[in-house]
Amino acid sequence: MDRKEFLSTMMLLGGATLLPADVSALNKLAAAGTRNGSRRIDESKVVLMADIHISGELKDGIPIKYPYNPTSLNLRIKEILQMRPLPGNVVILGDVAWDYGLEEDYRYAAQLLKPLQDAGIKVTLGLGNHDRRAAFFKVNPEYAAKSPVPGRAVSIVNLPTLDIIVLDSLAELPGLKPKQGTTVSGELDEKQIGWLESYLANNKRPVILSAHHPMTEMPKLSEIITRHPSVVAYVYGHSHIWSKTVRILRPRVPQRMVPVVCLPATFYGDIGLAVMNLTETGATIEYSSKGFWWPQPQENPPKEWELRMNDLQNEKCTLLF
C-alpha cells in the first residue's frame, strides 16, 4: 500500500487516522455489496487472525491507549470486505482485548467487527492471555451458551471439508482485580482435554486445532494430536509473527508431520492476516500483509522491515487431509 492509497483508506474509515469509532463507511460498504449481489460468500474461504488488542477505554471516541489499534483493525476489515468472493468465516485467535479484558474492550471490538457480520461473514473469537472470561461472556453470552466445555470459550467452526476447533488456552489466575495481569503462558484445563479426546475419538472429519498459545506450552495437546490422525494442523497467535513449522510426531509409524502455523497480528509485529482456502483433499493458508509496523505505511520504512516484507511475499502453508 502506498501513501496515496493509505490516505484514501483513512478517508474511507472516517477521514482521520485516529477516528476508528466511526465505522459507518465500512457498514455501507458491506451493505452495498449485499444489495447488488456481487459479494458472493465462499464457505471454503476462511480468514484467520489473532491479537487485535482493542481497548474500549475511549476519550472523545478515541482509545486512550494505543489509539491506532482500531485503525489497523479497520484496514484489515476493509481488506476482507474487498475480497472476491467474501470468506464465509473470520476466526480471531485471542487477545481480543488490549490488556486486561475489560467489558468495554469487548463492546468496542464488537462494534468494529460488525461490518463483517453485516456482510454475512461469521466471526468467531477465541481467548488469549489479555482476555478475561467473565467480561467476555457478559458481552458475548452466546459463547458460554454454545461452548461444549462449561466455563470455557470453546468453539467449533464447521466448514465444507473440515472443522476448526478453537480452544480456550487462557490461564486465568483466580481473584484477579479489574486491571491486574494474569500469566502470559497458556494451558488447557482437564475438562477441555477430556472433551477434546472424546470429540476426536468420535469425529470422522479432518480437524484443525487452534488456540491463542503455542503448542509447546501445552504438552498434553501434542499427545492428543499424536493419537488422532484426523488432526491435520495446529494454528495459533500470541507471538505476533507469521511462521510455519512442522511438528514431527512419534512413535506413530509412518511418522506424521503436522503443520503448525503462527498468525500475524494487527497490533505490532507482522501486521496482517492469513487466508485459508479449502479443497476436497487439503487446504492452503496464505499470509497477507498490507503494511509495516505502525504507522502504516511509512514513507521511508526501516530497511529491516523492507527485508521482512520481501521475505514474507508468497508465504503459505499447505495442508493435506
Q: How far apart are alpha carbons 155 and 167 in whole angstroms?
A: 7
Q: Which of 33-37, 145-149, 157-161, 202-206 comes out lowest in average pLDDT?
A: 33-37
The dihedral through the CA atoms of 174, 197, 234, 246 has a sign that is positive
Residue 7, pLDDT > 60, answer: no
DSSP state of 242: -
Residue 185, pLDDT > 60, answer: yes
Q: How far apart are alpha carbons 1 and 298 in whole angstroms?
A: 10
> Percentage of the chain with pLDDT > 70?
86
CB atoms within 10 A of CB 37: 7
Residue 125, strand partner residues: 92
Question: Comparing 13 with 145, which gets the higher pLDDT?
Answer: 145
Which pLDDT band holds residue 13 (cuts at 50, 70, 90)? very low
Q: What is the 3-state secondary structure (H, E, C) of 28-92?
A: HHHHHHHHHCCCCEEEEEEEEECCCCECCCEECCEECCCCHHHHHHHHHHHHHHCCCCEEEEEEE
Mean pLDDT of 216-225: 92
Residue 90, pLDDT > 50, answer: yes
Residue 84 has a pLDDT of: 96
Mean pLDDT of 65-77: 90
> Percentage of the chain with pLDDT > 90?
69
Query: Whose grid coordinates read 507482522?
Result: 270
Residue 2, pLDDT > 50, answer: no
Note if the bond before 178 is cis, omega within 30 degrees. Answer: no
Q: Which residues contact 88 (CB under 8 A, 6 or more apart)?
A: 41, 42, 43, 44, 45, 46, 121, 122, 159
Strand, helix or coil at 180? coil
Q: How far apart are alpha carbons 115 and 29 in whole angstroms?
A: 8
Residue 25 has a pLDDT of: 47
Indicate the average pLDDT of the chain.
87
Residue 246 domain boundaries:
3-320
Which pLDDT band holds residue 268 (cuts at 50, 70, 90)? confident
Strand, helix or coil at 219? helix
Query: Whose grid coordinates read 495442508?
Result: 319
Q: Where are the alpha helices (DSSP H) in the chain?
A: 3-12, 24-36, 68-81, 103-118, 133-139, 141-146, 190-202, 219-227, 303-311
CATH code, domain carrying 179: 3.60.21.10
Residue 79, pLDDT > 50, answer: yes
Q: How far apart are alpha carbons 303 and 311 in whole angstroms?
A: 12
Residue 250 has a pLDDT of: 66
How many domains in the chain?
A: 1
Q: What pTM value is reported for the model?
A: 0.88
Mean pLDDT of 196-207: 96
Residue 83 has a pLDDT of: 97
Q: Which residues contact 205 (CB under 8 A, 6 or more apart)?
A: 161, 162, 163, 230
- Tell me the pLDDT tens digit for each residue of 42-67: 999 999 999 999 999 999 988 988 88
